[in-house]
């Protein structure tokens, strides 16, 4: 094994070991509510409607019971009890095991011998469970009696009215989940539009070589990535103009919280602390840009008109994101015009950019700045760019600082940016000392631009960043489901059938439905108040997105096989960025057990990575004239659905 491979293997081994230690510590933490089945027993809970709103602190009791028939009394019948979070055990109404005193001690098993309380005949084994800020759940088993929580158990909220208990890993969704049509029904209803579109694109793609030979210049211009970019920007501008007056001003995740932040800055000319409001834990750049607009236009217009004007900022960021994606695609595929065009198309029509950029919030600005950091990083490979590296590295650091002032999520990119930069500096012939100086320059520039905000937080709040969910803000709340099960980490499929609120208890469905559709209806929690998107296109999109999604997976898997050193490094960066963001979201999904934890919009800062991986994967999957024609036809259907879903009528 070469020295380089040995170093890579050692580094990978250290990373895996560190991840294992970290995950093990999380699983042992009583604040991490992972409910794992054991010994054939399943966690059970009281069946109740799934609530989408944020809930105030509350204690939730529930009772569970089952009956057993005892013939010959056993000499020993050891019952193992685990409760989320405290439980008392009763046999025929008699207390045999009192509740654990601390709710934080719930991860340890407790045991009681039931044999002294069992004679011949039927007995009722009952449990009284108490939880805080979440549903009461129970796991119990006794091998001697064949007793295991699961099917056949009953649950009650008051100990009087009983109903069947439900497994904790059973799907739980809001009542209006089934009020939307299925994706297949929507595709069927849209066939009069999508069918002819597919046929036209199919035959145009098949005949494109002949068209290109007969009309070389018009064909080259029509299929050029730059032309695709301009068409997408024009379509985005048309979408924005159409929706400007039609889209209600309350549409958007936590829109009111973002507006209050903007008003605070505009009225006080200062930046609030994280403890002063719902969204005021966010870094301030977006709000600093929007506040002058609010201060000026609120003097002449009513609040509704002012909000519409404020939407110009995220709309400009959404348009800029299309341009940045186009530029990134040129650097990843410098010799493949077809893949540049595919990447630009995928990035320009990715639903999360289309719906997120039409509402108030810092995500669009943070996203385009993070993507600009990726573009600046890839630009370091340009010939002669690092001959005098100080200026480009300081510029990259300053851009990174701006992104950190928009949202702290960009920190996830920092290790990849530094690794890529170090490799580029070494490839340009700089010695190790200059590499270290260059990386330091990036960090110092970022610290100068953004450090003041995080230092202020550290002084005033005791830490550089305070998450929106942390109790230290003085805003205590919780959301469903309030626990995790292993099944929630691996289950997938409902977002392909009914994508709206498909991910309330599943990681991958939540991620998929918010990437390829507005799966959480921009934060609205009732059917009647949902945004005026076009439901048919909205629901059909995720099913039609199966092809570009497969392309992203194939592109990530095939990153190592790409030709050309520069192409491979950049694709590896894209795959690594996706992996890092997914790992961070999986961790948050585990430690913060609320349904709104997982939204693909949190990864909008790597939109060019999705686009590049998707284009690379489609280049691998769509080989051969017929397969390519069919694939492009399906992509056209997906693109139309993605665009028209958010074109308000």
In a domain? residue 303: no
Q: Are residues 194 and 166 in the same domain?
A: no
Q: Are residues 65 and 200 in the same domain?
A: no
Side-chain half-sphere exposure of 66, counting CA atoms within 13 A: 18
Can you give the residue range of the structural domain that contains 26? 1-30
At 70, which CATH number?
Answer: 2.60.120.260
Q: Are residues 234 and 183 in the same domain?
A: yes
Q: Are residues 57 and 183 in the same domain?
A: no
Residue 549: helix, strand or coil by DSSP? helix
In a domain? residue 294: no
The answer to whether the beta carbons of residues 85 and 132 sit under 8 Å apart is: yes
In a domain? residue 295: no
Q: Are residues 145 and 184 in the same domain?
A: no
Q: Measuring CA to CA, how many Å separate 205 from each of 220, 337, 543?
A: 14, 15, 22
User: Which residues are 588's β-sheet partners?
Assistant: none
Q: What is the pLDDT of residue 429?
A: 85
The answer to whether the beta carbons of residues 390 and 441 sit under 8 Å apart is: yes
117, 142, 170 — which closes off a domain?
A: 170
614 in the Ramachandran plot: left (φ > 0), alpha (ψ -120 to 50) or beta?
Answer: alpha
In a domain? residue 39: no
Q: Are residues 603 and 454 in the same domain?
A: yes
Q: What is the pLDDT of residue 218?
A: 83
Q: Are residues 66 and 126 in the same domain?
A: yes
Q: What is the pLDDT of residue 166?
A: 96
In a domain? residue 288: no
Q: Are residues 82 and 205 in the same domain?
A: no
pTM exceeds cut of 0.85: yes
Q: Are residues 449 and 481 in the same domain?
A: yes
122, 154, 170 — which closes off a domain?
A: 170
Determine the Cα–Cα distance for residues 274 and 474; give it in Å rounded to an integer. 9
Q: Are residues 143 and 232 in the same domain?
A: no
Determine the Cα–Cα distance for residues 138 and 363; give it in Å rounded to an integer. 39
Q: Are residues 49 and 11 in the same domain?
A: no
User: Which residues are 142's β-sheet partners?
Assistant: 147
Q: How many domains would you assign to the chain?
A: 3
Determine the Cα–Cα distance for residues 240 and 598; give it in Å rounded to an integer. 27
Q: Would you list the DSSP string of 475-506?
A: ---B-SB--B-HHHHH---HHHH--TTTTSS-
In a domain? residue 389: yes
In a domain? residue 649: no
Q: Would you list the DSSP string of 298-359?
A: TTTS-HHHHHHHHTHHHHHHHHHHHHHHHHHHHHH-TT-HHHHHHHHHHHHH-HHHHHHTTS
170, 198, 218 — which closes off a domain?
A: 170
User: Which residues are 65's β-sheet partners?
Assistant: 126, 154
Q: Are residues 485 and 610 in the same domain?
A: yes
Q: Mean pLDDT for each consecutive 10-residue tract of the chain (649 residues)? A: 60 73 81 92 94 86 94 92 94 92 86 93 95 93 94 92 94 89 96 96 91 83 91 97 94 93 94 89 95 94 95 97 96 92 96 96 96 95 81 94 96 95 88 90 95 92 82 77 94 94 93 96 91 96 97 90 65 94 94 92 96 95 93 97 96
Determine the Cα–Cα distance for residues 193 and 47; give it in Å rounded to an integer. 42
Residue 188, C-beta contacts closer than 8 angstroms, at least 6 positions apart? none
Phi/psi for 259 (5° steps) reads: -65, -40
488 in the Ramachandran plot: left (φ > 0), alpha (ψ -120 to 50) or beta?
Answer: alpha
């Amino acid at each position: 094994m070469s020295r380089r491979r040995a170093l890579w293997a050692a580094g990978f081994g250290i990373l895996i070991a560190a991840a294992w230690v970290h995950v093990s510590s999380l699983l042992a933490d009583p604040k991490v509510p992972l409910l794992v089945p054991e010994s054939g027993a399943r966690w059970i809970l009281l069946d109740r409607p799934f609530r989408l709103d944020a809930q105030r602190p509350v204690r939730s009791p529930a009772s569970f019971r089952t009956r057993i028939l005892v013939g010959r009394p056993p000499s020993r019948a050891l019952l193992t009890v685990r409760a989320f979070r405290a439980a008392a055990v009763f046999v025929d109404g008699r207390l045999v095991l009192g509740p654990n005193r601390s709710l934080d001690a719930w991860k340890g098993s407790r045991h009681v011998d039931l044999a002294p309380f069992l004679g011949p005949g039927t007995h009722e084994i009952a449990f009284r469970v108490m939880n805080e800020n979440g549903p009461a759940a129970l796991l119990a088993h006794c091998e001697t009696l064949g007793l295991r929580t699961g099917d056949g158990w009953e649950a009650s909220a008051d100990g009087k009215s009983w109903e069947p208990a439900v497994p904790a890993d059973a799907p739980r969704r809001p009542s209006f989940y089934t009020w939307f049509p299925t994706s297949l029904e929507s595709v069927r209803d849209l066939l009069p539009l999508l069918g002819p579109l597919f046929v036209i694109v199919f035959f145009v793609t098949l005949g494109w070589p002949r068209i290109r030979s007969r009309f070389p210049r018009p064909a080259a211009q029509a299929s050029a990535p730059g032309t695709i970019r301009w068409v997408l920007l024009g379509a985005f501008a048309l979408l924005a103009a159409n929706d400007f007056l039609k889209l209600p001003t309350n549409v958007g995740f936590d829109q009111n919280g973002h507006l209050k932040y903007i008003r605070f800055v505009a009225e006080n000319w200062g930046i609030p602390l994280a403890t002063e409001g719902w969204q005021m834990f966010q870094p301030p750049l977006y709000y600093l840009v929007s506040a002058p607009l609010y201060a000026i236009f609120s003097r002449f217009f009513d609040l509704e008109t002012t909000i519409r004007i404020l939407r110009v900022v995220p709309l400009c960021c959404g348009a800029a994101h299309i341009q940045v994606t186009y530029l990134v695609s040129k650097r990843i595929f410098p010799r493949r015009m077809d893949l540049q065009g595919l990447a630009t198309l995928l990035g320009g029509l990715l639903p999360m950019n289309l719906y997120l950029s039409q509402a108030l919030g810092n995500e669009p600005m943070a996203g385009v700045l993070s993507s600009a950091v990726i573009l600046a990083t890839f630009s370091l490979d340009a010939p002669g760019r690092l001959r005098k590296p100080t200026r480009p590295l300081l510029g990259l650091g300053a851009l990174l600082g701006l992104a950190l002032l928009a949202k702290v999520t960009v920190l996830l990119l920092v290790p990849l940016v530094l690794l890529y930069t170090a490799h580029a500096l070494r490839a340009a012939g700089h010695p190790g000392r200059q590499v270290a100086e260059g990386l330091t320059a990036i960090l110092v520039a970022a610290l100068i631009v953004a450090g003041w905000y995080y230092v202020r937080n550290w002084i005033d709040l005791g830490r550089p960043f305070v998450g929106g969910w942390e109790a230290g803000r003085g805003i205590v709340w919780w959301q469903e489901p309030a626990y995790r099960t292993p099944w929630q980490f691996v289950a997938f499929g409902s977002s392909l059938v009914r994508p709206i609120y498909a991910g309330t208890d599943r990681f991958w469905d939540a991620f998929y439905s918010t990437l390829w559709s507005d799966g959480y209806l921009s934060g609205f929690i009732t059917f009647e108040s949902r945004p005026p998107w076009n439901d048919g296109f909205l629901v059909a999109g995720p099913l039609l997105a199966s092809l570009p999604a497969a392309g992203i997976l194939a592109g990530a898997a095939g990153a190592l096989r790409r030709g050309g050193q520069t192409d491979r490094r950049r694709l590896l960066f894209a795959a690594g960025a996706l992996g890092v963001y997914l790992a961070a979201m999986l961790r948050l999904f585990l430690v913060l057990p609320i349904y709104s934890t997982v939204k693909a919009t949190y990864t909008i800062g790597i939109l060019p990575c999705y686009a590049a991986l998707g284009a690379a994967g489609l280049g691998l999957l769509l080989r051969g004239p017929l397969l390519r024609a069919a694939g492009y036809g399906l992509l056209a259907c997906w693109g139309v659905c993605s665009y028209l879903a958010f074109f308000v009528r």
